[in-house]
Structure 1
Amino acid sequence: MTETAPLTGGARTRETALLEQRAPQRHTPPPRKGSFLGSLLRGLLKTARPKQWVKNVLVVAAPAAAGQLFTRHALTQLALVFTLFTACAAAVYLINDARDAEADRAHPTKRHRPVAAGQVPVPVAHAVGGVLAALAPALAAWLVSPVVAALLTAYLGMQLAYCLSLKHVLVVDLVVVTTGFLMRAMIGGVALGIPLSRWFLITTGFGALFMVSAKRYSEAVQMAGKGGTTRALLTEYTTGYLRFVWQLAAGVAVLGYCLWALEEGGVPHASVLPWRQLSMVAFILAILRYAVFADRGTAGEPEDVVLRDRALALIALVWLAMYALAVANW
């Protein structure tokens, strides 16, 4: 048997080239247009913060307090107002993330946001946010009322100012976030032409300030002793001051609710039990239970606090049932 002589350098190169020509070529398929569009839409939706939309359920607060919730007209208008308010909030998130894209890329957590990660281009985020910001008030003026459109415009202006500069101003940042919650609670009543009770505004406003300042306090406690913070302004606050704010807000919210319950105790002999007065017990228990998490420094997003604690969720359901019975004069 004769052995095949090894190929020389030139022959090896020619044979390798022939083998490569005969082998099936593998081509990397170009990215499909549909997959890019789907990724972009998913990124836009994520940037709009769907988890935060639950806060917009507050638009039913004023109609529910007035007992004017379960009519076809009310439900239709409130669904529309909820959608428009959500569009405004999404516009603010998109514009904020587009503006902070460079800073977010240097942040260990925020760099995963779609705009910072490049899933949503910055110009697209600006454009979509601008369209939503212009379209929502215009539709509100056409489909609901000019007053609702004005309220949405004021909300947009305030939140955009917050993103640009107000979030760096002591105390004002707390007021702006609190006012955002209060606007959510007001707009449903404005859309249906329901007069807003002074006690409703006081309780809602200071209740919102309680939760906002408790969240800031928790963030300050958790970041104490660490080198960085997710909010630069937290370094300007002291934990003692934030504790004072949430304790003051909790006290005023409780006082406002009790004055409402005692002043408007329902029509005599129209209900089986004095549900308004009894609802004070559940309301105060809810505040006290929430304050436990604030004191521990674990009061994050309000919806997370309520949903994660079964006792607090149960108290909230009991209060809601009593309040509904009080409104219905049952």
Structure 2
Amino acid sequence: MTEAAPLANGARSQETALLDQRPPERTPAPPAQRTPATVLVGLLRTARPKQWVKNLLVVAAPAAAGELFTRPAIPRLAAVFVLFTACAAAVYLVNDARDADADRAHPAKRHRPVAAGQVPVPLAYAVGGVLGVLAPAAAAWLVSPAVAALLTAYLGMQLAYCVSLKRVLVVDLVVVTTGFLMRAVSGGLALGIPLSRWFLITTGFGALFMVAAKRYSEAVQMAGKAGATRALLTEYTTGYLRFVWQLAAGVAVLGYCMWALEEGGLPHTSVLPWRQLSMVAFVLAVLRYAVFADRGAAGEPEDVVLRDRPLAVIGLVWLAMYGLAVANW
């Protein structure tokens, strides 16, 4: 008994020492103090201002038809841009409110305003709902019923994506791609411009190329790591995603070349055949973008273009040739 007491005391002291060496438990940070100003800033951050550049696709169809700078085009396209931005913001708000609990456990997403407590969840739902109702209604009044129907379909599709479609293989890629295509189509609907089949093919598969390249890059970067940021990222193989972006790039190039070689029965009167020459710049841009996709470094499309100077220069050259072709100079 007398020998057992020192042993027991030694075991307790060793256990106490081990407990003292444990790192302190992390307690969740208290929610930031809310003021009207901080809530407004949080709502703006939740609307993802960096993503608004995607809505510039609304000018694609009018630019292709040579009607971008006509008097009725500018106010209508500005309205469509604002309304599409409002619809996208509504989706982001609802999505972040719905995923607030899961985002709080994520190392990066926990800093989002809704997850961090800067924006109350009920307020995010309310603002998202108001924007989702007002944007199509304003489109029917300011632009056209066709654009209002398109925005309604966009909202329905994106909300379905947030709830369930983002967990369905292939369908998730199609939904994100369709969102880009809807932006490009909306400008044509706003001005009553007939949309060329080659325009739709090039825009649709060009968007799929960038979406699949981004997914491929995420899969490459997350290979062998835990904690994928997307629900389906671990179910796609890198080989399959590589096949998708390569297929999409090929179809996009083919569609653009068919547009460039189709004169529509009218001989060009410009100094040079800009439509045909623009194929060179377009193909070079796709090949340059594919370099980053192949490396697994193709993140957000706007980041890839702006951070790579050669790609930006090629894009400007293509834009100049495209503009000259449309203007028939």
Q: So what's the TM-score if we normalise by structure 2?
A: 0.89
1:267 positional shift: 4.1
Quick check: 1:260 aligned with 2:275?
A: no
| Percent identical residues | 85
What secondary structure, in the 3-state scheme, does the structure 1 residue paired with 2:114 have? helix
User: Are the aligned partners of 1:60 and 1:185 in contact in 2 as well (CA < 8 Å)?
Assistant: yes
Question: Segments of 4+ in structure 1 off by > 6 A?
Answer: none
1:227 positional shift: 1.4
User: Are the aligned partners of 1:266 and 1:276 in contact in 2 as well (CA < 8 Å)?
Assistant: no
1:265 positional shift: 7.3
1:113 positional shift: 0.1
Matches within 5 A, 1:1-330: 36-264=35-263, 267-268=266-267, 270-330=269-329
1:72 positional shift: 2.1
From the superposition, tell whether residues 195 and 118 of structure 1 become closer, same or farther in structure 2 (CA, over 3 Å): same
Find the aligned partners of 2:284 and 2:231 in 1 and give their Cα distance: 34
From the superposition, tell whether residues 71 and 316 of structure 1 become closer, same or farther in structure 2 (CA, over 3 Å): same
Task: Identify unmatched segments of 5+ residues in structure 2.
Answer: 1-32
CA RMSD of aligned residues (A): 1.1
What secondary structure, in the 3-state scheme, does the structure 2 residue paired with 1:235 have? coil
1:228 positional shift: 1.4
What secondary structure, in the 3-state scheme, does the structure 2 residue paired with 1:176 have? helix
User: Are the aligned partners of 2:166 and 2:231 in contact in 1 as well (CA < 8 Å)?
Assistant: no
The residue identity in structure 1 corresponding to 2:256 is Y
Deviation larger for 196-205 or 267-276: 267-276
User: Are the aligned partners of 2:201 and 2:255 in contact in 1 as well (CA < 8 Å)?
Assistant: yes
1:317 positional shift: 0.2
Task: Identify unmatched segments of 5+ residues in structure 1.
Answer: 1-32
Find the aligned partners of 1:226 and 1:156 in 2 and give their Cα distance: 34
User: Are the aligned partners of 2:217 and 2:293 in contact in 1 as well (CA < 8 Å)?
Assistant: yes
Q: Deviations over 1:123-159 (max 9, x none)?
A: 0000000000000000001111111000000000000
User: Are the aligned partners of 1:266 and 1:329 in contact in 2 as well (CA < 8 Å)?
Assistant: no
Counterpart residue number, 1:28: none
What secondary structure, in the 3-state scheme, does the structure 2 residue paired with 1:129 have? helix
Find the aligned partners of 1:59 and 1:232 in 2 and give their Cα distance: 30
Find the aligned partners of 2:133 and 2:262 in 1 and give their Cα distance: 42
User: Are the aligned partners of 1:57 and 1:82 in contact in 2 as well (CA < 8 Å)?
Assistant: yes
